[in-house]
Amino acid sequence: MKDLFQKAFDEGRDFLTERESYAMFAALGLDVPRHELIPDGAWLRGRLHEIKKEYPERVVLKVASPDIHHKTEIGGVAVVDNNADAIAGAFDAITTRAREAMPDARLEGALLMEYVQCEQELLVSLIDDPTFGYMLSVGKGGTLTEIFKDIAMRPAPVEKANVEAMVKSLKTYPLLKGYRGTKKADIGQIADFVTTISLLARPAQKSRQKAPAPFCRGFEVVELEINPLAITKDGRVLPIDSILRFRKTRPEEPDIAGKSSAPNEKNLDQLFHPKTIALIGASDTTEKMGGSILKLLIESGAAKVFPVNPKRKELMGLKAYKSISEIPGPIDLAVLAIPAKFTLPVVTECAEAGVKVAIVISGGFGETGTEGKKIEAQMAASARKTGMRIIGPNCMGVYFEPTKFSTFFLSPEKTEIPHCDVNNFTVLSQSGAVCVQMVELTRNVGIRGIVSYGNMIDVDVADLMAYFDRDSGTDVIGIYIEGLTDGAKFISAAKAMHKPVIITKGGKSRAGSAATVSHTGAIAGDYDIAKAVFKSTGLVEAETLEDFADYAKAFSFLHGRRPKGHRLGVISNAGGLAVLAADATEGTCLKMAKYCKATIEAIKAETGGLVIVSNPTDLTAGISDEGFAKAAAHILDDENVDALILIPGIQPRPMREDAIVDEIIRLYNRYDKPMAVTITPTEKRLAMFNRLEAARVPHYDTPERAVRALAAFVELLNGVENGAAQRSSL
Amino acid sequence: MKDLFQKAFDEGRDFLTERESYAMFAALGLDVPRHELIPDGAWLRGRLHEIKKEYPERVVLKVASPDIHHKTEIGGVAVVDNNADAIAGAFDAITTRAREAMPDARLEGALLMEYVQCEQELLVSLIDDPTFGYMLSVGKGGTLTEIFKDIAMRPAPVEKANVEAMVKSLKTYPLLKGYRGTKKADIGQIADFVTTISLLARPAQKSRQKAPAPFCRGFEVVELEINPLAITKDGRVLPIDSILRFRKTRPEEPDIAGKSSAPNEKNLDQLFHPKTIALIGASDTTEKMGGSILKLLIESGAAKVFPVNPKRKELMGLKAYKSISEIPGPIDLAVLAIPAKFTLPVVTECAEAGVKVAIVISGGFGETGTEGKKIEAQMAASARKTGMRIIGPNCMGVYFEPTKFSTFFLSPEKTEIPHCDVNNFTVLSQSGAVCVQMVELTRNVGIRGIVSYGNMIDVDVADLMAYFDRDSGTDVIGIYIEGLTDGAKFISAAKAMHKPVIITKGGKSRAGSAATVSHTGAIAGDYDIAKAVFKSTGLVEAETLEDFADYAKAFSFLHGRRPKGHRLGVISNAGGLAVLAADATEGTCLKMAKYCKATIEAIKAETGGLVIVSNPTDLTAGISDEGFAKAAAHILDDENVDALILIPGIQPRPMREDAIVDEIIRLYNRYDKPMAVTITPTEKRLAMFNRLEAARVPHYDTPERAVRALAAFVELLNGVENGAAQRSSL
């Protein structure tokens, strides 16, 4: 058994035959269909008597050859009754057809198998994703697999409880629960099977541990797909068809960029709290990048700034230096604002001068092709020699609110980084332009930190996540990523987070980059895999920039509030808007609350009995600001309500615009249940907006956006499963 | 055959038995499985010899009784080989089990049927929806029906081409096309079957025509569901199981509100262009509704205004009248701003005084319950006597931009109806508050008309759609509806529209209101049915108010531009934002264009060869405004590009903010391909926004919203199918 992969490898194969796969499953302790190899007709005739006794009423014969993959297509499969004539006839027929169709194929005979009566068909797969490593999938198997794409996926290895949750999340789970005459399947037994299969994954940390199963020592699975995994009519869990591709375990590759699977926070304190900064490529005109940044650094005043420019003696009133080595004393941070072609030697110089961390602003490296990637590797190697960290290249660097330290060199007439009374939201973005867009869209949320981290040749998003998870002023982290170089490290950082993370991914193409031959590859592209990673590590995905901004506002403003459940109240003086809010809960975790009788009576009394009290609650146009607030308080007092959306629509009177804002802010401060407000965004109402935002009440232009954002917040807090439980700082 | 329904009715049933259903299908000329009734064992024995010859290898026996619906559950179904012993045994077994399980059931014997080998299973249903009348569905049948809800629906009757389009829109269509070994089904044959079934629907105009099929004269189908409709291995299309409920055709009901199935535009000209207006309940203080409206009417100056208030001699400088009958000369429009309890007699008075159309503002009628509904019916009856039309009650009435005529009585410190240079967008809303929200969200689009139409006791949304379809100044119509009283009229108005209609529905609960026993009822709630109606009549559904506003801007601004196809170009100086735009095309009708070689070469030349030209096109931060515009022009010149999204991200330089706006406006005016712009919404960039909006260039805060809106516009123009073809005015 130990030689299963070796034998196939020696035969020049990178896959197991069906029989070998059964052997492997059996070696893992799993049940497989009864089967045997029939080498030839003579041998078969000698066995027919036993076959009759040992096999059930019907049997399957499949031509056995390591060279024939699509057996059905060449007529190489037959299902026949278990009697001598039928079996012998089928054997001759399929082997003859195979010989005719593929005369050069090595023919080992035919595989005889019991015919399995399926109650349900599942798909189970394990694929080694180039970014995230082994991903395990469970889903609907059979011919409908690719049509309905009903699969659940998460990084392997997995616990049994994970698998049960995955199975229960399937749309076709009702079929397994027993539905319209189908038998109830044993979910525990399915989960045991899948958990065992997941042992074939190397641990998520690629190449760091040996393969766990003895029979594949020296080899590793590239992809395994079992489709169908049969849940049989008599309750067995049996792999029927499978594909398994493997490769020789790669020797530990030299780790070019010095990456480790644990986040590395070394020197990041000096990145955000530098005492001394050298700006290489400093200029005295803000028309140039080196001038813009110099001005920003001087204005911040948080650190001593040393401009470097060999052609100048003084810049903006500061002594200029010819090179970094000329600067007296230690340098915490070097900012490189020089063209790409001059960058490598300067990075080396910085490293040798003992700089703790360098920000390389310029683009023109890895994003332009192989040549650029080579230079990046050299920069990383130089830095590693002395332990210097690098941010970038191809980035805008850092902004940190407490010290106003900033390298964000956009001219102030284009944009300014917004500043609020409370600043607890940190943005990490691979793209500079998306970073700016995110900061603008969350302008009233309160930005604490920004890192535009670019090509990630050293400091990557996982390092920054870990750092800001410990940063006491950051309550919520927002991330934009396109690609990742070390998916395993990202998973490890994501799992360890205590603070809520909102993440948007660019590059959502569903085309898989991995060359897989299985269904799973056709179903799950790179984006689906990334989605599965986000979900399973408890990150909150915002699919659009709109959602990103809306969630950021809810999470930052509502920080510290804990809903007890998913039951939502909606209150309005405008029936139609209340209806749209209730509609928008569909498909979210929020359920419309059922008010207590006392609540209903209290609201009725408040409104003179004129209003039919239900949820959503339409107090009608006749309600005053005071009446609205009193009714809202009754709903917030109701123990059947976990969260509230307030929609003071524009109505003629008696509601007063200023007064209702006062009332809402009072309620918001009095109750700690999560709330969101929808205010129709008229020009006349800008003042209402601003007052609500100053009071950090989340408000949205439309009922639907308020519901989506509040749902994301409630889901975060309630997502005990899938790793979100550890978000203890909420 | 004529007596099929009558016989069942006489037996006290409202449904057909399986055998009766087969008889009905056969009468429609449809193929059915070979079957016959076996009344008893003796009869069976006499037939066995013929059965062996006439039936295939396997047969099905089902217990036959009008009282037993769930035959499988009581063991009343058997599938056996076609031989004497097996059939006789099965007959005894199932009839014995039926007698034991349901001793009181009338037992007619057993139905013998050929066993049908299904290649595919479909579901076909026809349900009489209380609002929209007959809705026909086609979808995936079998046990997965309710799990995947893969059905297409449209109002019946249907053309064969409609059915083919429905089948092709199914997710499971690949199974019918021939997929992974399944046989290709004959879509034409399926469509013929379904089209024939749709003849069982009375025409959409309820109760206006007689039932088409002779055998159900005097009766009509309540619901019919065939599941499965088998596509057999030998290529037949056979109904296997079905449910059919019917009722006696109702006598023509007295048409309480005088509704007709054709839109009624009578007197609507006087609603929007009144020469004389009586305001009943006029006041001299804008603190009161009657004062606000009086002020608005006087300010408009478009009509002669007669305030009515028995307690006053003069109001706001105008002579006041005691009642409408005192006013000299004919009155085009009466506006009733008086409490609900006084409304009915005044409506009658107005009708008798020859008023052409009345707006009843007050609420407190049908929306409060049965009593209110009664009064509404009386108002409608009064009005009908003299041909007076009524808008409302429970509404805010009308605004019409050309004359500034308005009854929208919101105080100007709360909101003002926006006014633009071009005003071509008309809003029709059932809810006043949603109306205000929609108007505010589309404030820069240019509003021509607004009707808050309330409870629709006379003038309804269909009448208004028809009116504004002919209104020369309206290019685009936006609608909010919650419920409808006459769905057939709505369908007829929607089908006849020449202008694009954006529609948002409140009340999206998927719980079906119709008490159906079939799967279709479980799958398709009221909202799904409304969605199917919108789609099949070519209306564009906006699922949220956000989409509503975004689509309104695109449709109004882009009015007159015709894309030739779905191929989108994306151009930006910010890679990340371009990537997000490309991502957002997934799931829309837009496909990323492949540029011609010449375009790529031209852009390369323009950018000095530094940029890798692909689509999305990232010109990088180094591009100038001029370079950006030149590259965009090359893309717009490309015959492989039908539409363009421009994303000038915030970058340090050389792009100048003012100059890029100039360039974009120039491109927009020079090319008639549809375009949309994304501008990061910074405070600094407000001026850019305003200039783009003044030039009627659609712009959006995020790339994703720009793509969604442009996709909706392109889809509208290209949606030749489903009734959108007649949108000839675009």
CATH (domain of A146): 3.30.470.20
Q: Phi first, then psi: give them for residue B629, nearest 5 degrees.
A: -65, -40
How far does the CA of residue B656 sit from the closest CA of chain A (Å)?
9
A506 CB neighbours in chain B (<8 A) are 576, 579-580, 583
Q: Phi first, then psi: give them for residue A47, nearest 5 degrees.
A: -100, -15
Residue B719 pLDDT class (50, 70, 90 cuts): low
pLDDT at position B264 is: 93
* Residue B624 scores a pLDDT above 90: yes
Q: Test A480 with B576 for CB contact under 8 angstroms.
A: yes
* Residue B512 scores a pLDDT above 60: no
Smallest CA-to-CA distance from A405 within A304, A536, A289 is with A304
How far does the CA of residue B501 sit from the closest CA of chain A (Å)?
19
Average the pLDDT over each of A101-115, A599-613, B283-297, B447-461 and give the range with the smallest value.
Answer: A599-613
How far does the CA of residue A508 sit from the closest CA of chain B (Å)?
5
Mutation for testing the B interface, residue in A120, A145, A146, A147 having most B CBs under 10 Å: A147
Q: Test A436 with B680 for CB contact under 8 angstroms.
A: yes
Q: Test B702 with A441 for CB contact under 8 angstroms.
A: yes
Residue B257 pLDDT class (50, 70, 90 cuts): very low
Query: Shortest CB distance from B657 goes to which of A414, A574, A612?
Result: A414
B655 CB neighbours in chain A (<8 A) are none
B148 CB neighbours in chain A (<8 A) are 148, 171
Domain membership flag for residue B257:
no
Domain membership flag for residue A285:
yes
Mutation for testing the A interface, residue in B650, B655, B686 having most A CBs under 10 Å: B650
CATH number of the CATH domain containing B553: 3.40.50.261
Q: Are residues A64 and A166 in the same domain?
A: no
Q: Are residues B315 and B436 in the same domain?
A: no
Query: Shortest CB distance from A684 goes to which of B368, B415, B508?
Result: B415
A579 CB neighbours in chain B (<8 A) are 431, 482, 506-507
Nearest CA in chain B to A685: B414
Relative to beta strand B425-429, strand B405-406 is: unpaired
How far does the CA of residue B287 sit from the closest CA of chain A (Å)?
8
pLDDT at position B255 is: 44
Q: Test A433 with B292 for CB contact under 8 angstroms.
A: no
* Summary mean pLDDT of chain B: 90
A620 CB neighbours in chain B (<8 A) are 363
Is B123 in contact with B151 (CB distance < 8 Å)?
yes
Q: At A709, is the secondary structure helix, strand, or coil?
A: helix
Query: Shortest CB distance from A171 goes to which of B148, B432, B577?
Result: B148
Q: Are residues A291 and A144 in the same domain?
A: no
Q: Test B480 with A576 for CB contact under 8 angstroms.
A: yes
* B87, B114, B141 - which closes a domain: B114
Residue B518 pLDDT class (50, 70, 90 cuts): low
pLDDT at position A635 is: 98
Domain membership flag for residue B19:
no
pLDDT at position A520 is: 65
In terms of residues, how long is chain B?
Answer: 730
Q: Test A415 with B650 for CB contact under 8 angstroms.
A: yes
pLDDT in tens, B170-185: 999 999 998 766 789 9
Q: Are residues B539 and B445 in the same domain?
A: yes
Nearest CA in chain B to A622: B363
Separation CA B74–CA B68 (nearest Å): 9
Domain membership flag for residue A287:
yes
Q: Test B586 with A510 for CB contact under 8 angstroms.
A: yes
Residue B521 pLDDT class (50, 70, 90 cuts): low
Q: Are residues B88 and B148 in the same domain?
A: no
Query: Shortest CB distance from A650 goes to which of B147, B415, B680?
Result: B415
* A514, A540, A557 - which closes a domain: A557
Cα A528 from chain centroid (whole Å): 9
Q: Are residues B296 and B421 in the same domain?
A: no
How far does the CA of residue B408 sit from the closest CA of chain A (Å)?
9
Q: Test A434 with B576 for CB contact under 8 angstroms.
A: yes
B337: enclosing H helix or E strand: none
Is A373 in contact with A366 (CB distance < 8 Å)?
yes
Q: At A110, is the secondary structure helix, strand, or coil?
A: strand
Domain membership flag for residue B9:
no
pLDDT in tens, B353-397: 999 999 999 988 988 888 999 999 999 999 999 999 999 999 999
Domain membership flag for residue A259:
no
Q: Phi first, then psi: give them for residue A540, nearest 5 degrees.
A: -100, 115
DSSP assignments along B11-79, one per residue:
TT-SB--HHHHHHHHHHTT-----EEEE--HHHHHHHHHHHHHHS-SEEEEEEE-TT---TGGGT-EEE
What is the interface pTM, i.e. ipTM, of the complex? 0.92
Residue B162 pLDDT class (50, 70, 90 cuts): very high
A623 CB neighbours in chain B (<8 A) are none
* Residue B700 scores a pLDDT above 60: yes
Separation CA A41–CA A102 (nearest Å): 19
Domain housing B415: 396-452+460-557
pLDDT at position A621 is: 86
Query: Shortest CB distance from B650 goes to which of A410, A546, A584?
Result: A410
Residue B348: DSSP 8-state: H
* Residue B303 scores a pLDDT above 70: yes
Query: Shortest CB distance from B414 goes to which of A179, A574, A684?
Result: A684
How far does the CA of residue B440 sit from the closest CA of chain A (Å)?
6
Separation CA A170–CA A515 (nearest Å): 26
Mutation for testing the B interface, residue in A450, A580, A658 having most B CBs under 10 Å: A580
CATH number of the CATH domain containing A46: 3.30.1490.20
Query: Shortest CB distance from B508 goes to which of A147, A443, A586?
Result: A586
Separation CA A646–CA A676 (nearest Å): 6
Q: Test B546 with A702 for CB contact under 8 angstroms.
A: yes
Is B78 in contact with B60 (CB distance < 8 Å)?
yes
How far does the CA of residue B548 sit from the closest CA of chain A (Å)?
11
Domain membership flag for residue A410:
no
A292 CB neighbours in chain B (<8 A) are 652
- Residue B342, CB-side half-sphere exposure with 13 Å CA sphere: 9
Q: Are residues A513 and A599 in the same domain?
A: no
Q: Test B433 with A650 for CB contact under 8 angstroms.
A: yes
Residue B417 pLDDT class (50, 70, 90 cuts): confident
Give B10: exposed, middle or buried? Use CB within 10 Å, 0-12, 13-18, 19+: exposed
**Tokens representing residue B99 in the block:** 């007698």
Is B592 in contact with B645 (CB distance < 8 Å)?
no
Separation CA B2–CA B169 (nearest Å): 36
Q: Which residues contact A537 (CB under 8 A, 6 or more apart)?
A: A491, A494, A495, A497, A722, A723
pLDDT at position B193 is: 97
Those residues of chain A that have pLDDT short of 70 are: 1-2, 180-181, 202-216, 251-260, 510-523, 718-730
Residue indicated by tokens 């790793």: A723
Q: Are residues B320 and B469 in the same domain?
A: no
Is B392 in contact with B442 (CB distance < 8 Å)?
no
Smallest CA-to-CA distance from A686 within A413, A442, A444 is with A444
Separation CA B680–CA B702 (nearest Å): 7
B435 CB neighbours in chain A (<8 A) are 576
Q: At A374, is the secondary structure helix, strand, or coil?
A: helix
Q: Test A574 with B434 for CB contact under 8 angstroms.
A: yes
Q: Test A509 with B182 for CB contact under 8 angstroms.
A: no
Number of domains in chain B: 5
Separation CA A108–CA A119 (nearest Å): 31
Q: Are residues A598 and A714 in the same domain?
A: yes
Q: Which residues contact A605 (CB under 8 A, 6 or more apart)?
A: none
CATH number of the CATH domain containing B309: 3.40.50.720
Mutation for testing the A interface, residue in B173, B227, B526, B583 having most A CBs under 10 Å: B583
Is A201 in contact with A245 (CB distance < 8 Å)?
no
Separation CA B394–CA B378 (nearest Å): 16
Q: Are residues A125 and A139 in the same domain?
A: yes
Residue B670 pLDDT class (50, 70, 90 cuts): very high
B413 CB neighbours in chain A (<8 A) are 657, 684
Count CB pairs under 8 A between chains A and B.
Answer: 230
B551 CB neighbours in chain A (<8 A) are none
Q: Phi first, then psi: give them for residue A321, nearest 5 degrees.
A: -115, 150
Q: Are residues A353 and A426 in the same domain?
A: no
How far does the CA of residue B580 sit from the closest CA of chain A (Å)?
6
Q: Are residues B493 and B533 in the same domain?
A: yes
How far does the CA of residue A138 sit from the closest CA of chain B (Å)?
17
State the amino acid at position B693 in one-letter form.
E
A429 CB neighbours in chain B (<8 A) are 576
* A248, A263, A292 - which closes a domain: A248
B506 CB neighbours in chain A (<8 A) are 576, 579-580, 583
Separation CA A558–CA A561 (nearest Å): 6
| Partners of A237 in beta bridges | A231
Nearest CA in chain B to A651: B410
Is B691 in contact with B569 (CB distance < 8 Å)?
no
Domain membership flag for residue B550:
yes
Separation CA B367–CA B377 (nearest Å): 13
Query: Shortest CB distance from B545 goes to which of A443, A575, A580?
Result: A580
Q: At A425, is the secondary structure helix, strand, or coil?
A: strand
**Tokens representing residue B170 in the block:** 């199914």
Separation CA A111–CA A242 (nearest Å): 14
How far does the CA of residue A288 sit from the closest CA of chain B (Å)?
9
Is A718 in contact with A563 (CB distance < 8 Å)?
yes
Q: Which whole number is the average pLDDT over B244-273?
A: 77
